Structure 1
Amino acid sequence: MSQIPERVLVQAHLAAREPVPLSAEETEDYKRRIAAALKARNAVLVAHYYTDPVVQALAEETGGCVSDSLEMARFGRDHPATTLVVAGVRFMGETSKILSPEKRVLMPTLEATCSLDIGCPIDEFSSFCDQHPERTVVVYANTSAAVKARADWVVTSSCALQIVEHLMDRGEKILWAPDQHLGNYIQTQTGADMLMWQGSCIVHEEFKAQSLIDLKAVYPEAAVLVHPESPAAVIELADVVGSTSQLIKATETLPNPTFIVATDRGIFYKMQQAAPDRQLIEAPTAGNGATCRSCAHCPWMAMNTLPRVLSSLEQGTDEIEVDSGLIPQAVRPLERMLDFTRQANLGAVGNA
């Protein structure tokens, strides 16, 4: 049974309405108009790996980027554009605003959020932290600006292991939030003393171990690629466990002709670029479960459509605002992570 709070499932269900499909002609017209609007407004489009492939392609074609949430924010910070259009979910727009407070940050829709973010409200989280003041607070990047501001460290799925090991070596006990599966994976790998917030991702929660075993029997030559936000039983079956960017890299470097991929299917766009000769298969999900509309694809990511990108640009709507008082507090744990990864020479620190 899913451990995702009912309020999160309700919001996911509301978000899961299928966008109106566009014809090829309409798609090209929107792309042309968006490209012109980006240029006219000194704006750049950054898109997450889980958005629609047509949005990812447009970001690349117009000089933007397709990446994880932190790299989206860093790219926007370093780009000369004065306006950032963030195609993703709300915490990604907030992270961009935290790193670029002087820039305008727009989103195709502010309704696009994340079950990990919704499931970790700041008032409840602050109370949890206050109950355990002896613990170092480490939060995953998939959290609100307010939660980041309450943390000692922000981490991503590709650097979390190293940072937790670093803290463990210093004798620190950790309060971890919000993804319990990622936290449990890190705890298993490191043996760290970690107190978990009980959050999870509606997409990764749905991957099922037995169905994955059955699929692996059909494709015995396939490598199983799993994001660590998945349940432990699914992680145990993986050939590679890693962040989004690490899983894309695996399709380039592993010799297998076929990959079974246990993360959002939006990743296939970049995987097919990286390894066009490989067969990619979605890992099996619950199918008819409570969040079945989200299976293998985030319903909030699907809200990033071309019409919404254009509307945001032309009307200046759906602008991200972060309390100026929060920004110095929220940027501190982010910069702490970036400094650590630079010193440890970890390279990209991609997350979900």
Structure 2
Amino acid sequence: MTIAYRIDQIDYPFPAKPAVLSDVRKAELKDKIKVLLKEKNATMVAHYYTDPEIQALAEETGGCVADSLEMARFGRDAAEQTLLVAGVKFMGETAKILSPEKRVFMPTMEATCSLDLGCPIEEFSAFCDAHPDHTVVVYANTSAAVKARADWVVTSSIALEIVEHLDSLGKPIIWGPDRHLGSYIAKKTGAEMLMWQGECIVHDEFSSQALQDMKALYPEAAVLVHPESPASVVEMADAVGSTSQLIQAAQDMPNQTFIVATDKGIFYKMQQLMPEKQFVEAPTAGNGATCKSCAHCPWMAMNGLEAIYQSLTTVDTSAHEIFVDDALREQALIPLNRMLDFSAQLKAKKSA
């Protein structure tokens, strides 16, 4: 593995948190949103990292709560011709790439991602051009333009298998943008990888020293870690995986208590599926951590009820509707379909 490229330190434009709503206003908005979704032949898909009340609303209206790729697949296969994506911008773009014939809306177009912001297409494309013999593999947490520049798109749930496959073919790899996930995969596979040095502001905040102190308080707890976390945190894990894989691990493991090192939005689904188990947030403050995000993505938090209502009622849809240039969409679809086809083949092989 070679540490290859890092753009200048970014001062991420953290958004303001949505205003706190009264219970009466929340109930009023939920009722209105449910009616509007039916009127507009729309389905709502929400990411595991959105606030619990948003995830619950997606489920109550026949939508889904999932990771970014499953959100897009659900939207693609849904009968409704309008998709409301509660997440961050790259998720809306992915949904549009897979469902070009549908209208895709987001509560706010300002909801972004530090991995997306930290991997601008011009710099990343120049980096790829400097290494033309490398296969370009990019994480799903990137813009449509970056996906279009890639040979493969991966999610955290299948990145390991795809890199193993490429390594078996003797192909050197450019990996972007999450350096922690890339380092984890390089260590597991031994693949030759040139790294783009981006990071998720949520997972980058987890501290191994603080986690060690937390583990002393809960000695019987299993530690669940997303591989976007620093290597020192990953090394302490009893299970490492994507959001959906961590949920499954908590169901499969016999432990009654879990310390969870990922966005705390995941707790909604974990507690829903396993009400008898205890889930504790891994620390993001103390012993070197600064708690800028405090284990919850500030952009995911922008998906509030008021914003969702506005996206369904505004006359000027430009502030909420996702558009992807046709040529760019077709190019980005190639590496996405490679991943989907590989995933389907892998699933078929495992079930055979």
| TM-score bracket for the superposition, by shorter chain length | over 0.9
Query: Could you tell me how far apart the structure 2 residues matched to 1:126 and 1:241 are?
Result: 30
Shift of 1:288: 9.8
Q: Does the 8 Å CA contact 2:210/2:287 hold for their aligned counterparts?
A: no
User: Deviation per CA, 1:237-293, whole angstroms, max 9, x where unpaired?
Assistant: 000000000001111111111000000000000000121111111001135979634
Matches within 5 A, 1:37-76: 37-76=36-75
2:330 corresponds to which residue? Answer: 328
Shift of 1:103: 0.7
Matches within 5 A, 1:280-319: 280-286=279-285, 292-315=291-314, 316=317, 317-319=319-321
Query: Could you tell me how far apart the structure 1 residues matched to 2:217 and 2:288 are?
Result: 23
1:288–1:184 CA distance, 2 compared to 1 (3 A): closer
Matches within 5 A, 1:20-169: 20-169=19-168
Cα-Cα RMSD = 1.7
Moved more, 282-291 or 300-309: 282-291
- Percent of pairs with identical residues: 67
1:240 corresponds to which residue? Answer: 239
User: Deviation per CA, 1:66-86, whole angstroms, max 9, x where unpaired?
Assistant: 000110001001101111010
Q: Check if 1:178 corresponds to 2:180.
A: no
Provide the TM-score with structure 1 as the length reference: 0.94
Shift of 1:5: 5.2
Q: Which runs of 4+ in 1 moved over 2 A?
A: 3-7, 286-293
SS of the aligned residue for 2:298 comes to coil
1:346–1:60 CA distance, 2 compared to 1 (3 A): farther
SS of the aligned residue for 1:220 comes to coil
Provide the TM-score with structure 2 as the length reference: 0.94
SS of the aligned residue for 2:321 comes to coil
1:347–1:181 CA distance, 2 compared to 1 (3 A): farther
User: Deviation per CA, 1:117-150, whole angstroms, max 9, x where unpaired?
Assistant: 0000000000000000000000000000000000
1:198 corresponds to which residue? Answer: 197
Shift of 1:116: 0.2
1:288–1:186 CA distance, 2 compared to 1 (3 A): closer
Query: Could you tell me how far apart the structure 1 residues matched to 2:349 and 2:23 are?
Result: 39
User: Deviation per CA, 1:152-177, whole angstroms, max 9, x where unpaired?
Assistant: 00001111111000000101000000
1:155–1:216 CA distance, 2 compared to 1 (3 A): same
SS of the aligned residue for 2:65 comes to strand
1:160–1:347 CA distance, 2 compared to 1 (3 A): farther
2:224 corresponds to which residue? Answer: 225
The amino acid that maps onto 1:181 is H
2:345 to 339, 343, 346: 343
Q: Does the 8 Å CA contact 1:251/1:274 hold for their aligned counterparts?
A: no
The amino acid that maps onto 2:26 is T
Query: Could you tell me how far apart the structure 1 residues matched to 2:171 and 2:146 are?
Result: 20
Shift of 1:50: 0.3
Gaps of 5+ in 1: none
1:142–1:10 CA distance, 2 compared to 1 (3 A): closer
1:332–1:66 CA distance, 2 compared to 1 (3 A): same
Query: Could you tell me how far apart the structure 2 residues matched to 1:31 and 1:187 are?
Result: 45
